Amino acid sequence: MNEILDNVVDRVFKKALEFNVDDASVIAAYGRENMARFSNNSITVVNTLDEMAVFLYMIKEGRRVVGITYSVKSDELDKFVERLFSSMQFVEKSLEATSLPKGAFKYSGENDYDKRIEELSEGVVDYCESAINAALSEGAKRVSGTISANTEFYKIKTTGGVEEYDRVSYISANVRAFSETNSSGHGLSCATYLSKFHPDEAGKTAGNFARESKKTGYWSEGEYDLILGPTVAADIFQMVGSSASAFRVDSGVSFFKDCLGKKVAVETLTVEDYGTVEGGFGGRKFDDEGVPTQKNVIIEKGVLKTYLHNTSTARKYNTVSTGNAGIITPHPWNIVVGEGDMSVEEMIRECKRAVYVTNNWYTRYQNYMSGEYSTIPRDATFLIENGSIKYAINGTRISDSVPRQLSSIKAIGKDRRWVKWWEIEVPVYTPAILIEKSRITKAQF
């Protein structure tokens, strides 16, 4: 694979230099995804996505342009660079343009890689069966989901003297089980090694939640303590990670504006971003500018410690890149939430009046700066009264603000897991959390 990446990167890099650009960064990425989807206990499609893309960033006299192409034959690559370069003359010179960082850098991070995931091919189908059967054995009637095995290879070359490779593999099971009454449960398994991948456990969790949420009862709109399972907590921490991007702060799409060094959460909360971390699969050892990725402590003991930067945003903030480029938008790679000391069962026992949410979707903001948003719990959602689960409840909606919730975390769980599925784009390693007094609303019917 490295030879193919070398050829593509060298061709584009050489061509870019022929135009005497001040700086250039070329990344070639090859990705392969083997995916099987199922619903109603039956496979619906088997997908094989096999593709290579080339990314080129060029700067000349303050003019900046970014290109991506999937046309990777030699003559097409040449035309791609020519087209990109000829477009540069129409781009304005930017005061924010900065030279690419110069190496030599030390890349200490390593992503996980399992050759067996790369070679899995139709093996994903067997995992579907395992997930479906596990859910059915818990009493589910219908099971839907996805098994997805991914392998990615990267090479970067920059005028900053960087030339580096990376690769990562991961596999995930996203399982949803339905009972005969259409109560439902959700289960996940995300792993970077096949030995740590447990689609049967994802199926079992989904089936178990579907069964346990069959008994439903009345609830009224109002304030409740919230126990958010890892999948739901991941949604909040995904928002924390993306809101730490300096670009988003400047664009008004963040609740962290003017918060550096200030308390933004309870003291027990620590949130970190890692380019490479054991079990993580959202990052690389280098960012889009060739800067080594690193561990960034976003929130330490409740205090916002840093924004996430590329070199342009870092210069504006009079600091250095945090290794999170995105040429335009710095972004988190893998979010890791510090562990607490409570189990979900202990959280339940702690609560007088609470709602336990195991999954959610459709998070939307009214105002990103204030962090006011709502999201919809889906699958098993339980009413808790006096320290125990009373019954499942339907038709709930969480309406709150992220800053308020971060400052109202009462307990953090001790069992962390990796979460990445349809609703969560950045892999998040998080436990469950307990939040005091969130508003739960219901629809007029």
Asked whether position 174 contacts other proteins by CB under 8 A, the answer is yes
Nearest to 160 by CA among 105, 102, 106: 102
Chain residues 216-275 in contact with other proteins, contact rule CB under 8 A: 247, 250-253
CA quadruple 309, 81, 16, 94: dihedral positive or negative? negative
Asked whether position 70 contacts other proteins by CB under 8 A, the answer is yes
Binding mask 96-125 for other proteins (x = CB under 8 A): x------------------------xx--x
Chain residues 35-64 in contact with other proteins, contact rule CB under 8 A: 35-53, 57, 64
Minimal distance, residue 216 CB to other proteins, in Å: 14
- By beta-carbon proximity to other proteins, the closer residue of 249 and 348 is 249
- By beta-carbon proximity to other proteins, the closer residue of 145 and 413 is 145
Nearest to 137 by CA among 211, 74, 65: 211
Chain residues 146-165 in contact with other proteins, contact rule CB under 8 A: 146
Chain residues 320-379 in contact with other proteins, contact rule CB under 8 A: 327-328, 361-370, 372-376, 378
DSSP H helices, 272-400, are 311-316, 344-350
Q: Calculate the alpha carbon distances from 139 to 127, 142, 176 in Å.
A: 19, 9, 13
With CB under 8 A, what is the number of residues at the site for other proteins? 90
Cis status, amide bond into 210, omega within 30 of 0: no
Minimal distance, residue 394 CB to other proteins, in Å: 9
Q: Looking up tokens 């000349």, which residue turns up?
A: 60
Q: For residues 423 and 236, give the distance between their C-alpha atoms in angstroms, rounded to a whole number.
A: 11
Cβ–Cβ under 8 Å, residues 283 and 275: yes
Binding mask 268-307 for other proteins (x = CB under 8 A): ----------------------------------------
As a whole number of angstroms, the longest Cα–Cα distance in the chain is: 72
Q: For residues 184 and 380, give the distance between their C-alpha atoms in angstroms, rounded to a whole number.
A: 6
- By beta-carbon proximity to other proteins, the closer residue of 260 and 328 is 328
Asked whether position 9 contacts other proteins by CB under 8 A, the answer is no
Binding mask 123-142 for other proteins (x = CB under 8 A): --x--xx--x---------x
Strands 409-412 and 433-441: antiparallel
Chain residues 185-204 in contact with other proteins, contact rule CB under 8 A: 186
